[in-house]
Structure 1
């Protein structure tokens, strides 16, 4: 039987690591990656609703993350049999947010609303946006504390609510959410952290910490582009999370790396 590139890479990773092996899926390019990730996300949310009655997703920004949301919106218009998502019963959270005014184009929330949320009818009370800088908070620390309170209030009996899927992008230096290498957030054990002096503009942000990320049932990393290939290989090769935060992004039940061929180019077996 012929193996896909993702199958070959997982096999090589299994040979070289001792811990649980993440799923690695490789698509030819970013466009195909966005379509495949969208179809998988819709199926996963539909499955969660079949079990729990509701579903929850943590969104990311960035080029691929927003492209996935546009594809999800298209699938919502013509759902496949057995993959209908009731968007009135989906809770939406964010992995990080830029601490800028609400109408700023840098806001992940703004991009997500335009790409998906305004098109599928998620009720306002189920959209849990991180605060904007003009929302009345003194700074990102107060905004982070407030968001942690929202998570706790939604959790019921546990410290954090159920996240069925938590989506993450990754930067070329290996950052995820707004956790950057060797930054205070990389060692902060709080579920939500304020980020100042971020090396990528805008410099002030609010981010989930590793504690919250690790609570998700599944963590999916969406990565495209040759410029991220070295970081992908290092993260999957066992780099320390403080050096390369993407290496510390792991789900409770599953961790999936959804890559295009360029981003997977430095992985063992990628050229087979």
Structure 2
């Protein structure tokens, strides 16, 4: 695990862009494709804008497949949609083929069915069986909430205990909502996980996540222990006195 403290969110995004480029190059060289699990939030937004403004031929977009690690129970055009944020900041510029953009369908009435269908989408993309070990994404982007949640793995919610499914519907009573989310088994199978954390309001959560001991139920980001690399990019405000 590595942790890098940077001046601000813009520097985090620039550093994350370099990490994306490295992971993409290595993945395409080794396996022919680059598969990324995306997150929402303001810091990834800056990264997506940088990706969109980079020369198109500087990145292997023809071999890049985009997936989402969580989604709100809204449609793709809703202001709260993680997909919409990615579309507006990145997809509308790079114009990936639809076959390379794999959206979580948060608008469906049957969210459990949407989770199962998305597992099949992931399994087919990686050419692995649904009943086998979870596949390894080349890069997973994650953020950190003020309550120490990540993806839509919120404190004291049922999804924290899921060990069989790769995606589930998570009831989040503290927000009076339901979310689709990737689970620990899938997230922790990743070849590389990159946390992007900015803002003084994240300092207390970051301190709890990085403490020598603590309960995953209280700070779900503590449960991210990937088989591959784990890198935290945080700004000075989020670092506070805990980093």
Gaps of 5+ in 1: 1-21
Choose the corresponding residue for 2:126, options 155, 174, 177: 155
Contact 2:49 2:90 in 1 (8 A): yes
Contact 1:240 1:248 in 2 (8 A): no
Q: Distance in 2 between matches of 1:212 and 1:40?
A: 21
Q: Where do residues 99-248 of structure 1 align in structure 2 (5 Å cutoff)?
A: 99-133=73-107, 137-157=108-128, 159-189=133-163, 190-200=165-175, 203-237=177-211, 238-248=213-223
What is the CA deviation profile of residues 135-157 of structure 1, one whole-angstrom value per residue up to 9, with x for unaligned ones?
xx432211111111212222324
Q: Distance in 1 between matches of 2:236 and 2:84?
A: 29
What is the CA deviation profile of residues 42-87 of structure 1, one whole-angstrom value per residue up to 9, with x for unaligned ones?
222122112222111111110001111111112235x6xxxx3220
**SS of residue paired to 1:196:** strand
RMSD: 1.7
Q: Distance in 2 between matches of 1:76 and 1:241?
A: 41
Q: Does 1:257 align with 2:232?
A: yes
Question: How far did residue 198 of structure 1 move?
Answer: 4.7
What is the CA deviation profile of residues 80-129 of structure 1, one whole-angstrom value per residue up to 9, with x for unaligned ones?
xxxx3220110111110011122111111111111112212322111111
Q: Distance in 2 between matches of 1:47 and 1:75?
A: 18
Q: TM-score, normalised by structure 2?
A: 0.91
Q: Where do residues 7-22 of structure 1 align in structure 2 (5 Å cutoff)?
A: 22=1
Q: Where do residues 20-31 of structure 1 align in structure 2 (5 Å cutoff)?
A: 22-31=1-10
Gaps of 5+ in 2: none
Contact 1:177 1:207 in 2 (8 A): yes
Label 1:233 to 1:199 Cα distance change in 2 as closer, same or farther (>3 A).
same
**SS of residue paired to 1:104:** coil
Q: Does 1:98 align with 2:63?
A: no
**SS of residue paired to 2:237:** coil
After superposing the two structures, state which structure 1 stretch, 181-190 or 235-244, moved more.
Answer: 235-244
Contact 1:87 1:121 in 2 (8 A): no
Q: Distance in 1 between matches of 2:147 and 2:37?
A: 22
Runs of 4 or more off by more than 6 Å in structure 1? none
Contact 1:140 1:195 in 2 (8 A): no
Contact 1:88 1:121 in 2 (8 A): no
Q: TM-score, normalised by structure 1?
A: 0.82
Contact 2:198 2:238 in 1 (8 A): yes
Number of residues of Structure 1 aligned to a counterpart in Structure 2:
238
